[in-house]
Amino acid sequence: MGSTPDRIALVTGAGNGIGRATAERLTQDHAGVVLVDRDAEALGWATADERYVSVIGDVATEETNTAAVAAALEKFGRLDTVVLNAGVSWTGSLEDMPLEEARKIADVDLWGVVIGTRAAVPALKESPAGSIVVTGSISGTGADPAMWTYNTAKAGVHGFVRTASWDLAGHGIRVNGVAPGPIRTALTGYIETDAPEAYAALAGAIPLGRWGESEELASVIQFLASPDASFVTGVIVPVDGGIAAGTGQFHPGTALSRSAD
């Protein structure tokens, strides 16, 4: 790479969507990024760029997380930022959803964060400004129909972020999270084409009136990961177009109006 890197990052679920946008955003002030995804083809976009190194595997396993940290140390000599973004989701009722499917969600969305954090801590202790950013969800703060496993896992992620921020503060490692609302990604793109009415209805329930873009979320992650956020730890930042701000009965398009007289 020609010179000593300023900062090195690791991003899970980096094949597309939020993960890819975050990796590309981080390269603006990180000299190297380790990309982790279980789909080798999805990481093809980065193969010709020496700023990236790819690790293929399942973030729910210790082996993948250990290999990712080792790749950062081997190629770049350090690790400063870890973005634990990989996630999966299925829908199903509490009574009928197969438990093996529910466990898969918990394994990736929650335990992948726990295992990834534990694997990265020794390297982050050596960084002068170590940071971890976790992708949670506004679904971790409330209920969605037929998404009990996802909601439960993301609620656990939010709790883990807060607790880990205290446990790791003494090592100078900051831990924060983002809670995205509806974001246009490869995983959600089908809604716009296959269910345009549902897509429009959800957009109408967002105060800003539209779905978010992966790049918008990546910019918030970049800030939380950077030394610019040096006194910020233990927070979950909603990136949801204003959804989480609403705690009343009415939503955009349903509010009642009444004349002053």
List, by residue number, the catalytic residues. Answer: 150
Place of tokens 């703060």: 141
Residue 13 identity = G
- How many of the other CB atoms lie within 10 Å of CB of 38? 20
Is residue 69 packed enough to be buried (19+ CB in 10 Å), middle (13-18) or exposed (0-12)? buried
Residue 116 identity = G
DSSP 244: G
Q: What is the dihedral of CA 170, 82, 219, 153, to 10 degrees?
A: -90
Pairing of strands 183-184, 81-84: unpaired
